Structures are given as structure tokens and as C-alpha cells.
Structure 1
Amino acid sequence: MKIKHIKGSTFCIDTGRTYLPFYKINDEEIIMLDSGLAKGERREIEKLLVDNNFKIAAIICTHAHVDHIGNNTYFKKKYNCIIAMPAYEAMLCSSIVNLKGYYSMLTLTEIREQFGHMVCETDVMISYNQSFIEVCGIKFDIFHTPGHSAAHICITTPDEVCYLGDALVGYETMREAKLPYAYIVSEDLKSKDKLYTLKCSKYIVAHKGIYNDITELIGANIEFYKAIALKVYEVIEDGMTMDLVRSAVTKSFNLRINTMARYGLIERLLRPYVEYLSEIGSISLQIEEGIIKYSKF
């Protein structure tokens, strides 16, 4: 793990897997943009903070996924830092019961054991129409990009460096990802298209890259997600149930399902693409003897 200087007072932690930006208020205090994974990242992130004599004054979160808020509660307890997050995302991670809405395939006990550390108290709620937030006397611009999650945001520092979170993925991720996640694919594509209007001096993508211009990356992302949807469409045969679609996609995409958690993950990854195909009129749904079946038009 190492720290990269981006511009002015904006830096980012390269965890190897992701980029986690932060803004230096002064030589000691920083504002983090997302807090990263607990498992596999916390210890090294904390070591970097200690080695550089940094204390976290606040964390502004793009969205409430485990690899973006995994250390929120831990750092809040350690540094008494402020946590800011889109209101809906904050609601999602406010309790184990609310997390059940996202991890629907898991029991409450499993969610508590595997994702209980995601539960956190949010101090500042960011509304859906809010264009900026002031934290610790520092103003950050907010650009709303729902789709990857219900209320995902991009955050721009005073140095005109925009942290895109998961609104886009980098080229390496596109080469490696078999079934990239979007909560609502159609909304995610709209938000990606909206990014053409965003004008900043530098851009940070969580998974993973630093760019001076994202014009080509936006187009590549849109085509990438549409291509994934097309691959899902190609394996669907008339009269398939969701279980059969999942099985076919698992084989075609060379995915692995060997635990309930993995089963639930594939369910969360796949269903939005099936819903998208239905939205754009590529497949139809019929109910036969109480069972939903999918067919191509």
C-alpha cells in the first residue's frame, strides 16, 4: 500500500485493489473519501495513517457497499470523525435489519457475522438534490450518479479532483470483471452518460485509475455494460426460470457458486441485467403455474 499525490491537497491511498482518496486539511488532519474494506485493507490503511501522523477528521462516502464503508465505524470510534453519506445509503447501513434489504439471500445471523461491521452511524445526510457539502470547513461538490447503487455520488475536492467511486470502472477492471455490478443497469447507464457533462482537472476511479480526461472511459464503460447484458441475453432460452438463467450464466461466464454467500452474490449481480433486458424489450416474462419464466421476443 502506498500514498499517491494527485493534485494540491488531494491524495489517494493505493490499496492494490482500489484507490481511496483523501484531502489534507493540514499536516495532521485528513478527510477520507470512502474508508475501504475491513478485511485485507484495514491494517495497512491504518499503518499508513500512523506512519504519516494522519488523523481522520471526516469520511465522505460515495455509497454503502462493503468495500467503500467497511472501516467507517472502526475509524469513527478511533478518531471520533464525522461520517457523511447519501441519505438512502446511510439508511441501508444503519442496521443489520436494513442490510437485509441488500443481502436478501442471507439470514440475519449470516449478515451479522459477515457484514455486521458495515453498520455505522451517519452524522451528515446528503440529499438527492444537494450539489455540495461542507465538512470541517472544506467544500466538496456533489454529482449524483444513481445506478451502481441507489444513491451513488461522485465527490469533487477543492482541487477540482473528482472521485468517481464506482460510477465508472477502469480499463483493467473491464478486462477482468465477468459480471460487473449495477443495482439498476438502466439508471447506471444514464448516470455514466451524464458524466460527459462533468468538467474537472483530474478523475479518480475506485476500481481503478487516475485520469486527466474520462471521455473515452465513459464510452468504453457504456459499451462494456451493454455487452455484458447482451451476453446474458444470448444464454436465455424460451421458458427459462431465473434459476435456469442463473445456471446458464454461471456456466457461460465461468462463475463459481459453492456457498450460500456466493449464490446470493451471483443473484445480486445477475438480476439487474435480466431486469434491464426486460425494460428494453429484449425479453418477456410470463407466469406459468405460479412460476416466472423468461423468453426472448
Structure 2
Amino acid sequence: MKIKEVKGNTFCIDTGRTYIPFYKINDEEIIMLDSGLAKGERQGIEKLLVDNNFKISAIICTHAHVDHIGNNTYFKNKYNCIIAMPTYEAMLCSSIVNLKGYYSMLTLTEIREQFGDMVCETDIMISHKQSYMEVCGIKFDVFHTPGHSAAHICITTPDEVCYLGDALVSYETMRGAKLPYAYIVSEDLKSKNKLYALKCSKYIVAHKGIYENITELIGANLEFYKAISLKVYEVIEDGMTMDRIRSAVTKNFNLRIDTMARYGLIERLLRPYIEYLSETGSLIFQIEDGLIKYWKS
């Protein structure tokens, strides 16, 4: 892991798989934008903090996914730092029971074992109406981009560096992703289109890049997610149930399902695309013998 300079007091930690930005309040205190994954990243992040004599004063979170908030509670306990997060995302990760509403395919025991690091106490709730927030006396602009998650936000530092979180993915990620995640594909596409309005000096994508201009990247993302939707559509045959669609997509996309966790993951990845295809009129469905079956319109 290493620290990359971005602009002014805005830096990011390169974990190897993600970029985690932070803003330096002074030579010792920092505000992190997301906290990263616990398993595989925490030790390296902590070493960088210690080596640079940094203390975390606050963490502003883009959304409640395990690779973005996995160290929240750990760092809060260690540094007594402030946690800020969009309201809905904060409620989601406030308890294992609330997480069950999202990870519905898993038992509470499985959720605790696999996603227990997500549970955290949020000090500052960010409303869906807010366009900025202040923490530790520092003002950050907030840009709402629901879709990848229900209340995903982008955060702009005082250096006019915008952290996009997962609102966009990099070209490298697009080359390797088989079935990229979006909680609601139609809303995610709308939010990607909204990003054209941003006027910042630099942009940080969590997975994983730093850009001075994102116009082409936005277009590439839009085409990428639409192409994935088309690829899912092409796998479907008339009269398929969701189970049969999942089986066909798993085989066609060369995905792996060998545990209940992987089964639940593929379910969460695939279902939003089926919903998008239904919303756009590409698929219709009806109930036969107690089963939902899909047809191409």
C-alpha cells in the first residue's frame, strides 16, 4: 500500500484494489472518505496511518458496502472519530438485524460472520436534500447519486477533488468485471448521467483511478452497464424462471456458485438487471403454477 498525492490537502491510499481518499486537516489529523475493507486492507491502512503519524478525526462514507465501511467501527473505537453517512445507508448498517433486510438470502449467523464489520454507529446523518456538510470545521460538497446503492453520494473536498465512490468504475474494472453491481440499474444510469454536470479539478474513482476529466468515462460506464443488460437479455429464453435464468447466466458468464454466500451474491448481482429489463419493457412476466416466468416482449 502507498499514499498518492492528488491535489492540495487531498490524498488517497492505494490499497492495491481500491483508492481510499483522505483530507489533511493538519500534519496529524485527517478526514477519511470511506474506510476500506477489514479483511485484507485494515492492516496495511493502519500501518500507513502509524508511519505517517496520522490520526483519523472523521470518516465520511459514500455508501454502506463492506469494502467501503469495513473499518468504521474499528477506527471509531481506536481514534474516537466522527462517522458521517447518508441516512438510509446509516440505518442499514446500524445492526445485524437491519443488514438482514439487504442480505435476505443469508442467515443472521452468516451475515454476522461475513458482513459483521459493516455494523457501525453513525454520528452525522446526511440528508438526501443536503448539498454540503461540515465536519471538523471543513466543508465538503455532497452530490447525490443513488443507484449503485440506495443513497450513494459523491463527496468533493475543499481542493475541488470529487470522490466518486462507486458511482463510476474505471476502465480497468470494466475490462475485468463480469456482472457489475447496481442496486437499481435504472437509477444508477440516471445518476451516471447526472455526473456530466460536475465541474471539479480532479476525480477519484474507488475502483480505481484518478482523472482530470470524466466525460468519456461516464459515457463508457453507461455503455458498459447497458451492454451487460443486453448480455443478460440474450441468455434468457421464453418461460424461464429466475432460478433458470440464474443458472444460465452463471454458466454463460462463467461465474462460480459453490456456497450459500456466492448464491446470495449472484442473486444480488443479477436481479437488478432482470428488474431493469422488465422496467424498460424488454421482459414481461406472468405467474404460472405459483412460479414467476419471464418472456421477451
Identify the TM-score tier after normalising by the shorter chain. Answer: over 0.9
Instruction: Report the Cα offset of residue 228 of structure 1.
Output: 0.2
Aligned residue number for residue 33 of structure 1 = 33
Aligned residue number for residue 264 of structure 2 = 264
Distance 2:21 2:61 in 1: 11
Aligned residue number for residue 217 of structure 1 = 217
Instruction: Report the Cα offset of residue 117 of structure 1.
Output: 1.6
Aligned residue number for residue 290 of structure 1 = 290
Aligned residue number for residue 94 of structure 1 = 94
Distance 2:284 2:222 in 1: 23
Q: Which runs of 5+ in 1 are unaligned?
A: none
Aligned residues: 297
Instruction: Report the Cα offset of residue 87 of structure 1.
Output: 0.1
Instruction: Report the Cα offset of residue 140 of structure 1.
Output: 0.2
Instruction: Report the Cα offset of residue 115 of structure 1.
Output: 1.1
Distance 1:117 1:221 in 2: 29
Instruction: Report the Cα offset of residue 202 of structure 1.
Output: 0.1
Q: 4+ residue stretches of structure 1 with deviation over 4 A?
A: none
Aligned residue number for residue 187 of structure 2 = 187
Distance 2:22 2:191 in 1: 24
* Equivalent residue letter for 1:280: T
Instruction: Report the Cα offset of residue 249 of structure 1.
Output: 0.3
Aligned residue number for residue 51 of structure 2 = 51
Q: Which runs of 5+ in 2 are unaligned?
A: none
Aligned residue number for residue 116 of structure 1 = 116
How do 1:135-174 and structure 2 match up within 5 A?
A: 135-174=135-174
Instruction: Report the Cα offset of residue 257 of structure 1.
Output: 0.3
* Equivalent residue letter for 1:224: F
- Which whole-Å deviations, capped at 9, do the CAs of 1:34-73 have from their partners, x for residues lacking one? 0000000000000000000000000000000000000000
Secondary structure of the structure 2 residue equivalent to 1:67? helix
Instruction: Report the Cα offset of residue 188 of structure 1.
Output: 0.1
Aligned residue number for residue 202 of structure 1 = 202
Secondary structure of the structure 2 residue equivalent to 1:98? helix
Distance 1:277 1:183 in 2: 14
Aligned residue number for residue 281 of structure 1 = 281
Instruction: Report the Cα offset of residue 101 of structure 1.
Output: 1.1
Distance 1:114 1:68 in 2: 14
